[in-house]
Structure 1
Amino acid sequence: MEISRSLAISSWIAMAIVLSIAPAGCFYLPGVAPADFQKKDPLMVKVNKLTSIKTQLPYSYYSLPYCKPTTIIDSAENLGEVLRGDRIENSPYVFEMREPEMCHIVCKITLNEKEVKDLKEKIEDEYRVNMILDNLPLVVPIKRLDQESSTFYQHGFYVGAKDQYSESKDAKYFINNHLSFLVKYHKDVEMDLARIVGFEVKPFSVKHDYEGEWMEGRTRLTTCDPHAKQTVLSSDSPQEVEDKKDIIFTYDIEFQESDVKWASRWDTYLLMNDDQIHWFSIVNSVMIVLFLSGMVAMIMLRTLYRDISKYNQLETQEEAQEETGWKLVHGDVFRPPANSDLLCVYVGTGVQFFGMLLVTMVFAVLGFLSPSNRGGLMTAMLLLWVFMGIFAGYSSSRLYKMFKGSEWKKITLRTAFVFPATVFVIFFVLNALIWRQKSSGAVPFTTMFALVLLWFCISVPLVFVGSYIGFKKPALEDPVKTNKIPRQIPEQAWYMNPIFSILIGGILPFGAVFIELFFILTSIWLNQFYYIFGFLFLVFIILIVTCAEITIVLCYFQLCSEDYLWWWRSYMTSGSSALYLFLYATFYFFTKLEITKPVSGILYFGYMFIASYAFFVLTGTIGFYACFWFTRLIYSSVKID
């Protein structure tokens, strides 16, 4: 009762914090209404970070010489947004609802040498500008060449373009200084209210000219007609990025009524991937599971049943001495392994990961962590990881006590620090590299301090609470007695070599998830939304079943060959799928990404190493517990004299 009460309280606290720290409007729940706009209501466009898939280093919008409002105000951000490098600020792009404007002048800027250099670098690296209106990201509609009626949406517009026909040394760079916005709205039939359901833009590079002297707010451009019903740009040349040259920033705003309702406005942004591929992934994974399930069923129902019946019918001492197979090692199969303390630590950490991912995916499937809740997914995962520390402490101490351990505080400290400390050191080094590049993706010191506080003030105490509760419980009793003298393991066939069987064991769990892994990597590194949490949850369940079944099958073969050292091998068998994950990430880097800077490559492989390490801990723990349950089941089913 104490455990269940503690876990229930922890789960409710975690959910309460997730709901409380998210910005208003992220969740569409009862009591949180969408924004209604009347005619003449002001619409304020917010600017977000500059992003590039070539460098993976985000920068603040105002790191480039763009028009600034009188006062720059940072929007309140949750923990996940800060870790993702989001920097949401106000902008001078303000217009009235359903009041179209043409050729509105924002400002004029004269570039200096440093600003020219910065702009050219950002254009060279294909940086995009991200903006937000009513929590909707700005997109650029692009027609597909292969399908006339189909349109896909690019997140953000490019800072500018480079003249591809000029020499590389004398290449010309052009900036997109004219933005043609399109705001789609859904009108309330009964009331004169509207809700924004779309935010699109078409960027242009225009070298503006004007009559007479420049007068703020009263200058008339000759290259753009403010009274035209549609955008009319008469400039013959684009705006080049040059030192001591003026750039005039302008925009158009057009409003278009849409049949899309507010509740469905994200569908346009999210329905950009082919669901057939995901169904293929699911079918592929299910086939693997059915194959493994057939093998496990054959072992459990035929071979094991026959073995147990035969062993239980042995009557004479001579017959007992002729035992072969897995029963022969019953006196050694539950002997504590080498480095048993470390195994307890990793099993506890894996349980913590499993609990975090399971609850996160349930929240995501229920719609609490949709992409509209910017940063919500990462925030929820961090907080749930912290509160799942109670599971880590409980499971590691229970296993530790079964191994006849007595120093429960020592094992608790290692459980609380081994994995998080390793990840924190790698993350700190990578963050220092980002900070050196002056990127907005660098986590501020205050946020880093908050993460350390979460770790030391919540996670570590909860690990101790769980460990104390687990250690107070009576130790699990082995189904059979362990001999004092270890039995010699006979020479094994080549295919039962530990390295070979471990590497073979990781292929099928990875094969069950690698198609979905492609979409996850694409969403992370190519700045696309990942929203198909229903598919992901199914793949997660399939991964659990696959890891459990392949470990049971290989564990049975190992015991039949009279090798009783199954503890670590069961962990490594399914955990080796992390090696294939890292190899696939390397393949993805060289085939799908266009990263050229060494710092960006270090960041990619650093973060993918952390992801692979976490995947190893998760899958290894699943395989270990499956094999643990299997061995206890079979050895408790036979008579041992």
Structure 2
Amino acid sequence: MRASIVASSLLALTQAFYIPGFSYKSYRDGDTIPLLVNKVYSDYSELQYAFTELPFVCPPTGRLRAGHLTSGTSITLNLGEVLRGDRIVVSDYELVMGVDEEVRYLCSQTIDLEGIRRANELIRDGYVAEWIVDNLPGATSFQTTDKSRKYYAAGFKLGDETRLGLGGPAEYLLNNHVTLVIRYHRAPGKDGDKGKKVIVGFEVFPRSITANDRDESGFPAHIEGEHEPLLLVPQANSTNSTDTENEPTTLTIPYTYSVYWREDDRLEWQNRWDMYFVAQDDSANVHWLAIVNSLVICGLLTAVLSVVLTRTIRSDISGHRDIGLAGIKSKSSRKTSSPKREKSNLLGPVADLDIDNMVSDEEEIEDTAGWKLLHGDVFRAPAYGGLLAPLVGSGMQLLYMAFGLIVLSTLGVLNPSFRGGYISVGVGLFVFAGVFSGYFSARIYKTFGGQTWQKNVIITASLVPGLLFATIFILNLFVWIQASSTALPFGTLIALIMLWFFVQLPLVYVGSWFGFERMGAYTHPIRANIIPRQIPDQRWYFKSGQKLLLAGLFPFMVIFVELMFVVKSLWVDKTTYYYAFGYAGVVSAVLTITVVEFTIAATYFLLCSENYHWWWHSFATGGASSIWVYAYLIYCYFTKLHISGFVSSMLFFAYGFLACAVYGLLTGTIGFLAAYAFVGRIYGAIKVD
């Protein structure tokens, strides 16, 4: 009896559980489907606004809807949705499966001059609205350049701008009627046999219809054909039309909509998101060009390392061993052949040393490559090692997060139907990867001679996350003043602080304790000398500015083409989705190899110049491409983007800087680890037992 109850409960739970992108919802004819309204956004601004908070739209009435949802009910959002500015609310639009509606009246909204000004401002800045049906964003349909295929762009325009004649004043038309075309397909499996259907498309066709020529119910005389548009200008009240002294200060906007259901046999449910990426299919050749470009650059660096560095280092190591063995043999022969000196010599033990042979041995060492002269200093702890260790630890935290995101995206777990999933999963991976951050930071800290590992825990757990949170909090104040939905709610800020202090900090503590107390410091093949070696003057290309620019150029060239698609999706055309994780995964792998190889080559040349300060050098070399990425963002701002306004520009540069800093920290850690392994390998090979 208990087993049957548990089994039935689990079955009901699995049927109710919905995984975006993997589980589907099927509907019968006559089922009511909620239409959700989300936000408005623009390519010209970084500020987004909740659709229901706009002064010129119909407010929710609170009537009962499908699934015991009432209009005006806010849908529970995940962390990623909140961070990306989503504010999803159930609307009053009625959608009944399989029932066409030629025209339906929604409401009439009266707005004042401030509301008119606000509507004009949003239309002028090109804002589009995002509605959702069955987790699909309402889309505007377009044709490809060759007119062979149709594709979707998420959202639809709030209105249009028009001018009376050349150079005339701008007038704004509000789209107060929408035609909703919802495409469906027969449900797969047993649901299809029962007559159920799944939604595979949601198209929105907005129109502007004047408020005149309407009946008492708010319907226009005819819905088809051409109509006079609704201009966003104050209109005189019909009851006081004879009063010419008072200028009109209000505008009444009637809202109507039409609903049409159309069957689409060509589009399966699992492929319904393909319509949003048809435009990207046309650029597949460009993606492959980016991969070929990355492989060529990576291949050139691999050839340099394998042919030049490998042969040179092997010859240096073999020559060093020959010199070392020859020196041991000569010393032993001199020890056996030289006569025993008197103990009463005034010079004492010093007189027993063969000064002439010592000079010759030193000359033999000086003849070897410059990097071997640093064997007594190369593992000397760097300056500000207490800062480098937490940075590398946070970089490892980011590395685990990035690897997890790429794997999950490649497997299809993270996809556009999982709204906000990329950010939510990224934050979760980052927080729980704190144990790796503490582990690596503590071991490197102890390797540098640190003793108070509890202090290192606080720095590791608060340095990078604290700076990120403080910057976002300050920027959030400016966004909050603009009443944008991008502003983080107070509860979300508290939740982030709780994650930081009560999840990440304990994980960093556990990882640090295990790394410092149990695993201990990393062992080096050669001990550092007590007296540091004097570093000769360096060449111009080893100076900080030129070095970083040159070191970051090649990794930037690897990601340049793919970076253009990311910038286009985030800022140039926000209605298109960037979903090329297969390409991004390949480019990320090639980028990692390029950073590793270039950092190894740069570290080798630095050591050959008799400079043993390679710790920070390797970290900066690995992350140097972030300088070029930020420079490219600045170039795009002035040449390709349409962002206007002080707050939007500030948000672009600030968030762009944060993104580049995180990217630089991640690639800098990769470079540091590669250089650390390389230095330990070559100096371990020259050690003669």
TM value normalised by structure 1: 0.91
Report the alpha carbon displacement of residue 28 of structure 1 after superposing the two structures with TM: 4.2
Q: CA 1:322 to 1:234, structure 2 compared with 1: closer, same or farther past 3 Å?
A: closer
CA distance in structure 2 between the aligned counterparts of 1:128 and 1:299, rounded to whole angstroms: 56
* Correspondence for 1:327: 372
> Which letter does structure 2 place at the counterpart of 1:639?
K
> Which letter does structure 1 place at the counterpart of 2:252?
D
* Correspondence for 2:82: 82
* Correspondence for 2:476: 431
The equivalent position to 1:62 in structure 2, one of 52, 59, 65, is 52
CA distance in structure 1 between the aligned counterparts of 2:41 and 2:420, rounded to whole angstroms: 16
* Correspondence for 2:555: 509
Report the alpha carbon displacement of residue 112 of structure 1 after superposing the two structures with TM: 1.8
Where do 1:94-493 residues align within 5 Å?
Answer: 94-144=94-144, 146-165=145-164, 170-188=169-187, 190-210=193-213, 214-215=216-217, 220-224=219-223, 232-242=224-234, 243-259=249-265, 260-273=267-280, 274-314=283-323, 315-316=326-327, 317=361, 318-472=363-517, 473-493=519-539
- Counterpart check, 1:524 vs 2:570: yes
SS of the aligned residue for 2:377 comes to coil
Report the alpha carbon displacement of residue 24 of structure 1 after superposing the two structures with TM: 5.7
Indicate conservation of the 8 Å contact 1:44/1:93, yes or no.
Answer: yes
Report the alpha carbon displacement of residue 474 of structure 1 after superposing the two structures with TM: 3.1
Indicate conservation of the 8 Å contact 2:36/2:131, yes or no.
Answer: yes
CA distance in structure 1 between the aligned counterparts of 2:372 and 2:193, rounded to whole angstroms: 78
> Which letter does structure 1 place at the counterpart of 2:207?
F
Q: Greater CA deviation, 318-327 or 65-74?
A: 318-327
CA distance in structure 2 between the aligned counterparts of 1:600 and 1:542, rounded to whole angstroms: 34
- Counterpart check, 1:631 vs 2:638: no
Q: CA 1:313 to 1:178, structure 2 compared with 1: closer, same or farther past 3 Å?
A: same
Q: Greater CA deviation, 93-102 or 315-324?
A: 315-324
SS of the aligned residue for 1:50 comes to strand
Indicate conservation of the 8 Å contact 2:525/2:687, yes or no.
Answer: no
CA distance in structure 2 between the aligned counterparts of 1:168 and 1:101, rounded to whole angstroms: 41
CA distance in structure 1 between the aligned counterparts of 2:25 and 2:542, rounded to whole angstroms: 64
SS of the aligned residue for 1:636 comes to helix
- Counterpart check, 1:496 vs 2:542: yes
Report the alpha carbon displacement of residue 270 of structure 1 after superposing the two structures with TM: 2.4
CA distance in structure 2 between the aligned counterparts of 1:325 and 1:237, rounded to whole angstroms: 79
Q: Greater CA deviation, 481-490 or 459-468?
A: 481-490
Report the alpha carbon displacement of residue 26 of structure 1 after superposing the two structures with TM: 4.2
Report the alpha carbon displacement of residue 450 of structure 1 after superposing the two structures with TM: 0.2
TM value normalised by structure 2: 0.85
Report the alpha carbon displacement of residue 185 of structure 1 after superposing the two structures with TM: 0.6
Q: Which runs of 5+ in 1 are unaligned?
A: 1-19, 225-231
Report the alpha carbon displacement of residue 369 of structure 1 after superposing the two structures with TM: 0.9
> Which letter does structure 2 place at the counterpart of 1:638?
I
CA distance in structure 2 between the aligned counterparts of 1:152 and 1:197, rounded to whole angstroms: 13
CA distance in structure 2 between the aligned counterparts of 1:54 and 1:631, rounded to whole angstroms: 49
* Correspondence for 1:558: 606
The equivalent position to 2:631 in structure 1, one of 573, 583, 586, is 583
> Which letter does structure 2 place at the counterpart of 1:546?
T
CA distance in structure 1 between the aligned counterparts of 2:50 and 2:169, rounded to whole angstroms: 28
Q: CA 1:491 to 1:177, structure 2 compared with 1: closer, same or farther past 3 Å?
A: same
Indicate conservation of the 8 Å contact 1:351/1:621, yes or no.
Answer: yes
CA distance in structure 1 between the aligned counterparts of 2:214 and 2:523, rounded to whole angstroms: 92
Q: Deviations over 1:218-262 (max 9, x none)?
A: x553133xxxxxxx1453444444342322211111111112111
CA distance in structure 1 between the aligned counterparts of 2:396 and 2:512, rounded to whole angstroms: 13
> Which letter does structure 1 place at the counterpart of 2:482?
Q
Q: Deviations over 1:523-561 (max 9, x none)?
A: 222323121111111111111111110000011111112
* Greater C-alpha Rg: 2
SS of the aligned residue for 1:337 comes to coil
> Which letter does structure 2 place at the counterpart of 1:66?
V
Indicate conservation of the 8 Å contact 1:119/1:241, yes or no.
Answer: no
Number of residue equivalences: 605
CA distance in structure 1 between the aligned counterparts of 2:603 and 2:17, rounded to whole angstroms: 51
CA distance in structure 2 between the aligned counterparts of 1:324 and 1:84, rounded to whole angstroms: 55
- RMSD (CA atoms): 1.9
> Which letter does structure 2 place at the counterpart of 1:408?
W
> Which letter does structure 1 place at the counterpart of 2:652?
Y
Q: CA 1:137 to 1:211, structure 2 compared with 1: closer, same or farther past 3 Å?
A: closer
Q: Greater CA deviation, 189-198 or 534-543?
A: 189-198
Q: CA 1:321 to 1:105, structure 2 compared with 1: closer, same or farther past 3 Å?
A: closer
* Correspondence for 2:652: 604
Q: CA 1:262 to 1:156, structure 2 compared with 1: closer, same or farther past 3 Å?
A: same
CA distance in structure 2 between the aligned counterparts of 1:633 and 1:388, rounded to whole angstroms: 28
Q: Greater CA deviation, 427-436 or 502-511?
A: 502-511
Report the alpha carbon displacement of residue 565 of structure 1 after superposing the two structures with TM: 1.1
Percent identity, aligned pairs only, is 37
Indicate conservation of the 8 Å contact 2:21/2:417, yes or no.
Answer: no
CA distance in structure 2 between the aligned counterparts of 1:499 and 1:278, rounded to whole angstroms: 32
CA distance in structure 2 between the aligned counterparts of 1:410 and 1:166, rounded to whole angstroms: 70
CA distance in structure 1 between the aligned counterparts of 2:251 and 2:524, rounded to whole angstroms: 81
Report the alpha carbon displacement of residue 208 of structure 1 after superposing the two structures with TM: 4.1
Q: CA 1:53 to 1:238, structure 2 compared with 1: closer, same or farther past 3 Å?
A: same
